[in-house]
């Protein structure tokens, strides 16, 4: 048991690699659901990180025998690098970051985290032990304090071989979740033992499981010593362990880390989930129930359940009005949604897509998005508004030989020094102040002032001032694709072989 050591360090690990296409068009590859500020301006990742901030953990930690690491480790896509630190700052947590060059599922992410934590804490030599707590970045949880107390209990009974999973008491026969069948009795036992992992069932099977005792939803939340996880992976999936170890290169462990795994080695890693690779075959899987409202927010139906219903069963986020309508969900990012005589329907409005589906068909959305991708529909992958390390741009209008963008540069933001071969640009400052590089000139622009960037001229836009900068950019030329960009300097490290790949400004 972990309590035999002088002290146990509990390290939160947040898995952020999902794409969340089942919440399209709100969630897309360029901005997955964990980054979307859909909960009163907060994203699921922010809500997840906030659970580990000092102010939200002080009632549970410090504990006489357990210390919660004040640094949270996130594992996610290198494509979303710049979003992590902004959200961590809002969440008031300190961040370590492992960036994956390509998606390889949860087993690779958990192996990478375990290797990282062992390297980081390799100097522990005073009897302290190390326990990692893994949670997805895109799950909703109503009671963070109860989660922390449950983690603490699991850590207390963690040993050199066991892996804990948190089970959710089911409150309806869901076909969207995997199930855990357990044995034991919490009235006499400290924890339950997992007897079987059950894949997502059909409705009849789910109804049978719902009636049985000792059956829980699988939350995908794990607690274990990193050494136990690596030993299990070495036994069951050694190719994953070997590939991820090689992808670490010469990294030896330190504080304040932003580590990008080696792409060549990481690509060799098998694409497999941790449940399938390890948990379903491991001999010592323990479970504790998590008594809290929980959702993996894995569909529009699951998302809708997180919001209150009116007397007719209608739910909404944003400006929606229901007339002679029942059991609908409406989500709007700006324009009003009005329904008349509509039942059992989901309506989602974004700036560039309106999605309408019968509730009974929402689980099929993932396949529909795949078809959109095959047909080269840009909205299948990208939002109209695109996040960048320096801020955001919003493609307002586009026509033959022209495009209009609204560009917002945060304080301290600096676009790359670049040029375009096929387009010229006009910039008009509408808010704040800009520092502009144009050829050999460097000058400031204030509100209502403008400049022109001819084709082929090196240029840069930056905001070293104390207020956000907003400009309107009008592009004109024979080709307006985001890959018409040649970078010469970039403070965000984007001068790579992949520099021409749709990175935008």
Query: What are 315's strand-pairing partners?
Result: 329
pLDDT tens, residue by residue, 310-322: 999 999 999 999 9
Domain assignments of the chain as residue spans, ordered by start:
2-159+220-269, 300-370, 385-489
Tokens of 331: 């989500």
Indicate the length of the chain as a whole number.
Answer: 505
For the cut 60, the answer to whether the pLDDT of residue 503 exceeds it is no
- Average pLDDT score over residue span 104-121: 91
Determine the Cα–Cα distance for residues 418 and 439; give it in Å rounded to an integer: 10
Determine the Cα–Cα distance for residues 136 and 115; give it in Å rounded to an integer: 18
Share of the chain above pLDDT 70, in %: 94
Determine the Cα–Cα distance for residues 429 and 451; give it in Å rounded to an integer: 9
Model pLDDT, residue 126 = 60
Tell me the CATH number for domain 2-159+220-269.
3.90.550.10
Determine the Cα–Cα distance for residues 19 and 353; give it in Å rounded to an integer: 18
431, 433, 436, 439 from 450: Cα distances, Å: 12, 11, 10, 16
Model pLDDT, residue 502 = 40
Question: Among 55-59, 79-83, 339-343, which stretch is predicted with the lowest mean pLDDT?
Answer: 55-59
Contact 71, 13 (CB under 8 A): no
Model pLDDT, residue 498 = 38
Contact 182, 198 (CB under 8 A): no
Residue 357's pLDDT band (boundaries 50, 70, 90)? Answer: very high
Share of the chain above pLDDT 90, in %: 62
For the cut 60, the answer to whether the pLDDT of residue 501 exceeds it is no
Select from 305, 309, 308, 307 the least CA-distant residue to 325.
309
Considering the entire predicted model, what is its pTM? Answer: 0.86
Q: What CATH homologous superfamily does 385-489 map to?
A: Jelly Rolls (2.60.120.10)
Phi and psi angles of residue 471, each rounded to the nearest 5 degrees, phi first:
-130, 155
Determine the Cα–Cα distance for residues 369 and 198; give it in Å rounded to an integer: 27
Contact 176, 202 (CB under 8 A): no
pLDDT tens, residue by residue, 267-280: 999 999 999 999 98
The b-or-e profile of 65-82 (16+ CB within 10 A means b, else e) is ebebbeebbbbbbebbbe
Model pLDDT, residue 40 = 86
- Average pLDDT score over residue span 447-458: 96
- The CB-side HSE value for 417 (13 A sphere, CA atoms) comes to 10
pLDDT tens, residue by residue, 9-18: 899 999 998 7
For the cut 90, the answer to whether the pLDDT of residue 62 exceeds it is no
Contact 51, 147 (CB under 8 A): yes
Model pLDDT, residue 240 = 94
pLDDT tens, residue by residue, 373-424: 999 898 988 888 888 889 999 999 889 999 999 999 999 999 999 999 999 9
Model pLDDT, residue 17 = 83
Model pLDDT, residue 495 = 66
Sign of CA dihedral 363, 367, 370, 372: negative
Select from 100, 431, 131 the least CA-distant residue to 260.
100
Instruction: List all residues 6 or more positions away from 440 whose beta carbon is below 8 Å from its beta carbon.
Output: none
Q: Distance between terminal CA atoms of the chain? A: 53
In the sheet that holds 329-332, the strands lie side by side as: 315-317, 329-332, 345-349, 354-358
Instruction: List all residues 6 or more positions away from 283 whose beta carbon is below 8 Å from its beta carbon.
Output: 161
Report helix, strand and coil shares of the chain as percent, to nearest 5: 25, 35, 40
Model pLDDT, residue 5 = 47
Contact 419, 458 (CB under 8 A): yes
Collapsing DSSP states into helix, strand and coil, what is residue 404?
Answer: strand
Query: What are 409's strand-pairing partners?
Result: 391, 469
Model pLDDT, residue 56 = 81
pLDDT tens, residue by residue, 329-348: 999 998 999 999 999 999 99
pLDDT tens, residue by residue, 173-226: 888 888 999 988 887 788 999 998 988 888 899 898 998 888 999 999 999 999
In whole angstroms, what separates CA 21 from the centre of its chain?
12
Q: What is the dihedral of CA 378, 375, 496, 261, to 10 degrees?
A: 100
Determine the Cα–Cα distance for residues 152 and 232; give it in Å rounded to an integer: 22
Residue 64's pLDDT band (boundaries 50, 70, 90)? Answer: confident
Query: What's the mean pLDDT when you consider all of the chain?
Result: 89
The residue to which tokens 């005073």 are assigned: 126
Tokens of 233: 């992976």
Determine the Cα–Cα distance for residues 458 and 417; give it in Å rounded to an integer: 7
- Average pLDDT score over residue span 96-113: 93
- Average pLDDT score over residue span 94-116: 93
Select from 129, 300, 149, 295 the least CA-distant residue to 224.
129
């Amino acid at each position: 048991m972990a309590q035999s050591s002088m002290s146990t360090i509990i390290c939160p690990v947040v898995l952020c690699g999902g794409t969340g296409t089942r919440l399209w068009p709100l969630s897309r590859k360029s901005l997955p659901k964990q980054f979307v500020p859909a909960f009163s301006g907060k994203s699921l990742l922010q809500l997840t990180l906030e659970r580990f901030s000092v102010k939200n953990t002080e009632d549970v930690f410090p504990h006489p025998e357990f210390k919660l690491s004040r640094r949270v480790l996130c594992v996610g896509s290198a494509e979303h690098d710049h979003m992590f630190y902004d959200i961590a700052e809002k969440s008031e947590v300190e961040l370590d970051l492992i960036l994956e060059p390509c998606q390889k599922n949860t087993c690779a992410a958990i192996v990478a985290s375990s290797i990282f934590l062992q390297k980081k804490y390799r100097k522990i030599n005073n009897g302290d032990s190390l326990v990692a707590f893994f949670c997805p970045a895109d799950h909703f949880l109503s009671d963070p304090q109860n989660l922390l107390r449950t983690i603490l209990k699991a850590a207390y009974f963690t040993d050199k071989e066991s892996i804990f999973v948190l089970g959710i008491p089911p409150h309806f026969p869901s076909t969207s979740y995997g199930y855990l069948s357990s044995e034991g009795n919490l009235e006499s036992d400290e924890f339950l033992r997992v007897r079987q992992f059950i894949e997502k069932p059909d409705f009849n099977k789910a109804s049978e499981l719902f009636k049985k005792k000792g059956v829980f939803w699988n939350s995908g939340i794990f607690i274990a010593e990193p050494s136990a996880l690596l030993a299990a992976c070495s036994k069951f999936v050694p190719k994953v362990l070997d590939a991820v170890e090689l992808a670490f290169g010469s990294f030896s462990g330190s504080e304040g880390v932003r580590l990008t795994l080696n792409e060549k080695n990481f690509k060799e890693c098998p694409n497999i989930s941790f449940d399938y690779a390890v948990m379903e075959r491991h001999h010592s899987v323990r479970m504790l129930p998590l008594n809290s409202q929980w959702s993996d927010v894995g569909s529009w139906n699951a998302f809708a359940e997180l919001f209150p219903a009116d007397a007719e069963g209608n739910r909404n986020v944003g400006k929606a009005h229901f007339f002679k309508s029942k059991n609908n969900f409406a989500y709007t990012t700006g324009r009003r949604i009005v329904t008349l005589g509509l039942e059992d329907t989901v309506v989602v409005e974004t700036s560039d897509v309106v999605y309408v589906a019968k509730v009974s068909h929402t689980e099929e959305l993932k396949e529909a998005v795949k078809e959109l991708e095959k047909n080269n529909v840009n909205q299948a992958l990208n939002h109209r508004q695109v996040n960048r390390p320096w801020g955001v741009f919003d493609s307002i209008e586009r026509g033959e030989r022209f495009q209009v963008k609204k560009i917002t540069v945060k304080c301290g933001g600096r676009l790359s020094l670049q040029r375009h071969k096929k387009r010229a640009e006009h910039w008009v400052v509408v808010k704040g102040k800009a520092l502009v590089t144009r050829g050999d000139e460097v000058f400031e622009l204030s509100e209502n002032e403008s400049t022109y960037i001819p084709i082929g001229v090196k240029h840069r836009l930056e905001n070293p001032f104390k207020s956000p900068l907003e400009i309107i950019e009008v592009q004109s030329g024979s080709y307006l694709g985001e890959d018409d960009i040649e970078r010469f300097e970039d403070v965000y490290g984007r001068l790579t072989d992949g520099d021409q790949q749709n990175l935008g400004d």
